Structure 1
């Protein structure tokens, strides 16, 4: 079975290389090396993280939205 480990590079810089599936909160924890999945849910409550959506009771993130969020964070960072 292939590893599900993700890296920020997997989110891609070009749309054609985006993963073929939506990302889970656990994927974001792994990608950004966050302390816990609760951080992702706090971002959602505070509206500070990438845009997510619900599929039933499950939270999912479009890789393109995650990339856009990362890019917006970079623009605000000091060079």
Structure 2
């Protein structure tokens, strides 16, 4: 589950010096994250881990009525980590 925690944390839409708070709930190979940032910003994420691959879906809210989604796939091979988002 370490990969899932790292994956969700890495993709937070951080602004310079902004403080984000949040938590994750784990159920089997799935983690659900809810994070709050400055100026009403927030993000929800769902990550699922299958072997060396983690799939993460994120929805980011900018606090001004707009949202965006992205899907990421992270794969671990030996000591290398590869991430692709769309």
Structure-2-length-normalised TM-score = 0.28
Higher RCO, 1 or 2 (CA under 8 Å, sep at least 6)?
1
Structure-1-length-normalised TM-score = 0.29
* Higher strand fraction (1 or 2): 2
